[in-house]
Amino acid sequence: MVRVDNTHAGEKNKSHARSLCFKSTEDYYPRAPVGLGECFFFETKSQSKFATQPLKPAASGVFLFLQSAKIMQERSILIYDTTLRDGTQGEGVSLSLQDKLNIAQRLAELGVDMIEGGYPLSNEKDAMFFQKARQLKLGSSLLAAFGMTRRRGMKSADDPGLAALIAAQTPVITIVGKSWDFHATEVLGVSLQENLDMIGETVEYLSRYAQIVYDAEHYFDGYRANPQYALSAVETAARAGAKWIVFCDTNGGSLPEQVSQVVKDSKIRLDPLGPRLGIHCHNDGDLATANSLSAIDAGCDQIQGTFNGIGERCGNADLVCVISNLQFKKQGYRMLRDGSLQHLTELSRYIYETANLVPRNSQPFVGRSAFAHKGGMHVHAVNKFAHTYEHMNPEHVGNERRILVSELSGRSNIAALTQKHGSDPDRLLLDRILESVVKKENQGYQYEAAEASFDLLVKQCSGTYRPHFETIKYQILAGDLDTSRNQQYAEAILKLKVGQSVCVEAAEGHGPVNAMDAALRKSLIRFFPSIESMQLVDYKVRVVNGEAGTAARIRVNIESADENHSWHTIGVSENIIEASWAALVDAVEYKLHRDNQRTEG
């Protein structure tokens, strides 16, 4: 794959890409809309030797032409995912059997080479997983079952753990064994020789059933303590038939230069025996990505890790970051299926969602904030030349640039956002919007996660806001019906004006917000039948200025959805009911305004 990046190409590419003719960036994007990247990556099939075709015009009248670009020799890196096994060791991570099957399917769709499904001896769910997984359509992805070397003093054929691995019927079996002398004698309680025998016999026995990946546990710590013993452990596995020897930084405390040196030294000893090499890093020093990349440089061809880096303690190497760095930064590596990197963000979020974890906004490459811009100067520059504050085009990993509204931001932010919302306001209007945003932010509003309320604010400032209804009065009753049985009730009474009609409705709900929502729908549905399809998806409450005690302001964020979209609104008040009401009213108004636009447009 050849990438020619007209703005921040790697040195290698620059030397190959001659005659890149273009005018100034201004010429491509006279008024660069938000969301369009500044950098043009052109991809050709990896099989072809030269990229000779004229490339796509970046914008009308401008052509980039690449005369001859040599394809860099690409190395294939095998991606081994252990989200379903090592990932589930993470605190708060719990996946049902169906979750695991769904994730395996999604990983296969991305082209992950090996998918470790679990440890069949450890629990019933993992054993069931391998049975059910036979129905999945995994394409060229191989399932791996994980287990340990045989127990001490037992023949491989009698070991229930190894029997469970064979019963899993996977094309790959991954065996973990000890490489650190101290662990063998003090944790396992076996002699150094018996540990080697356990490794050799297990690998040899299981090689009859599957391709063996041998995970050398604590390899780097073991190597530092006793390099000869660590080496003899992996040599034993290689001689016994392991196809892959994977060096594990189990405690996650190694540095990139240490990883590099140990891999290079070990490779010299292992190469004559024929296995390929892999790396499995944990992130205790926040270096799992760096360590994995070092190991690849030093000669490893397989990376083990988890999506989003979930895993025990500080987690495993995050495959999202490792893959993105190899592909977009280091270059010269081939991984996954062609075109699948644009799905990284989607898959990352899918896995957070399935594992019921809160996504990490600051996660590199795929996080919501990874390409979010807040400071006014930044936004101004980023709108004009995206690469000034972005290290790459977010679209390459399926992410998007976000412009955040903030009092810090100035006019450029507001301009960018309103453009995104489809209007091109004049300077006076921009000033009006900015003034309102600053005022609202001082009250505790934040529009970053409330794009629908922002949209309504823009309409208000530009005089195009036409409210569909008016609130005359609302009243909420909530409390305990029977304190001894802790039975709660909530009821809302609403008086609204719609056009010339005044209507009064009451509704009950599980709580005050639910009751208000029910009464609002009941009142409006005969005027606006489309709100039938709308529902409240999420409701979040936060105290804005905690230091004020009970007089603190409450910020309510509501997520609503209909059959096509979801949108976020906000309300702020010292009164939680009032804040909720404001967010609810915005949610309904936004939906009705959008429905109108659709029918008009």
Q: Which is nearer to Zn ion, 86 or 455 (CB)?
A: 86
Q: How many CA atoms lie within 13 A of 46 on its CB side?
A: 14
Q: Contacts with Zn ion in 376-435 (CB under 5 A)?
A: none
Q: Does 221 bind Zn ion (CB under 5 A)?
A: no
- Residue 86 or 517 having the CB closest to Zn ion: 86
Candidates 4, 63, 64, 33; CA nearest to 384 is 33
Give the start-end residues of each E strand in 189-252. 211-217, 244-249
Q: How far is the CB of 220 from Zn ion (least distance, A)?
A: 13
Q: Closer CB to Zn ion, residue 86 or residue 559?
A: 86
- Specify the residue, 175 or 592, whose C-beta has the smaller distance to Zn ion: 175
**Residue 333: closest CA among 369, 360, 362, 293:** 293
Which regions of 119-159 does DSSP assign to beta strands (E)? 142-148
- Say how far apart CA 535 and CA 554 lie, in whole Å: 22
Closest listed residue to residue 143, CA positions, set 98, 103, 184: 103
Distance CA 301, CA 441 (A): 51
**Angstrom distance (rounded) from CA 506 to CA 518:** 8
- Hey, which residues does 62 pair with through a beta bridge? 59
CB of 86 vs Zn ion, minimal distance in Å: 4
Q: Rounded to the nearest whole angstrom, what is the least distance from the CB of residue 97 to Zn ion in the complex?
A: 22
Gap between the Cα atoms of 35 and 18, Å rounded: 28
Encoding tokens for residue 13?
């590419």
Contact window for Zn ion (CB under 5 A) among 43-51, 79-87, 265-273, 592-600:
79-87
Beta bridge partners of residue 509, listed in sequence order = 490
Q: Of the listed pieces 84-92, 257-265, 468-476, 572-580, which binds Zn ion according to CB under 5 A?
A: 84-92
Q: How far is the CB of 14 from Zn ion (least distance, A)?
A: 39
Q: Binding of Zn ion at residue 86 (CB under 5 A)?
A: yes
Write out the two tokens for 162: 């190894």
Residue closer to Zn ion, measured from CB, 58 or 281: 281
Q: How many residues bind Zn ion (CB under 5 A)?
A: 1
CB of 521 to Zn ion, least distance (A): 50
Shortest Å distance, C-beta 145 to Zn ion: 16
Residue with smaller CB distance to Zn ion, 38 or 86: 86
Q: How far apart are CA 45 and CA 350, in angstroms?
A: 29
Q: Nearest distance from residue 247's CB to Zn ion, in Å?
A: 12
User: CB atoms < 10 A from the CB of 442, how many?
Assistant: 9
The contact mask relative to Zn ion for 51-70 (x = CB under 5 A, - = no) is: --------------------
Of 176 and 326, the one with the shorter C-beta distance to Zn ion is 176
Which of 250, 412 has the CB closer to Zn ion? 250
Residue span binding Zn ion (CB under 5 A) among the ranges 78-86, 173-181, 326-334, 385-393: 78-86
Say how far apart CA 371 and CA 404 lie, in whole Å: 10
Segment interacting with Zn ion, rule: CB under 5 A, options 81-89, 253-261, 469-477, 591-599: 81-89
Percentages helix, strand, coil for the chain (3-state, rounded to 5) are 45, 20, 35
Shortest Cβ distance from residue 248 to Zn ion (Å)?
6
Judged by the rule CB under 5 A, the positions of this chain that interact with Zn ion are: 86
